[in-house]
Structure 1
């Protein structure tokens, strides 16, 4: 009977497919190495600190749900970030101390990078809001 079973199994197509010599080796049960250089490029804005810019300016995120001060009424077109602030000091990889104006003195001046956005504006071409004059139809008036 043992010889009959061995003959049947050797002639069976299904049994031949599942034999160990036809299977791929499972290998070691270890996690593969993940190359670090790829993750540095992907996560630069999320995990690492903000990259340094020549002017070291960042925009502060406006959050109506958290914090001490309510900035303005939030709507669809309300700004999500407020004016550029100068970076005074880098506290750690993910925290920066900002130079806040007197109006915002009730807020702690150290922020996590998730609340900041890199300011890409060139300071030489920025016009302060106080210097812009508009007529009654909201047209820009040039100073003469």
Structure 2
């Protein structure tokens, strides 16, 4: 923002004033441009030609346990029709459990897909860096993902007091 404005305007302490304004502006915080290296050449994802030939799967974890002790949801989505199956699972399931469940719930209804896209690990923890910081061994497909997450990677946001909601007023449904 400073570079664009300095071409047209200038005053003493301009950079400091703009920095303070941007830090307090909620819109500026939400649309702030990232300064990361480019992700490389874009790769086209082929458009599916038939339903259930390309599927995407992911997991919703951290849910409360059900009566049958399920604590996660396995989401399987057809890329063409966007129809989805939501299957209750347990975090402790093995790959064999998932394979049996896939055959029972998906394969018998939709047939064998040509491709399955998933970012699911498990990823080996290379080293524990802090209480909640780990270095992971990620596959080549996730090469652009940073191996380590640390609190220092979070961005400072000076919020507008009007838009801040006190925690006491929040309830969980």
Classify the TM-score, shorter chain: under 0.3
TM-score, length-scaled by structure 1? 0.23
TM-score, length-scaled by structure 2? 0.19
- In terms of fraction of residues, the more helix-rich structure is 2
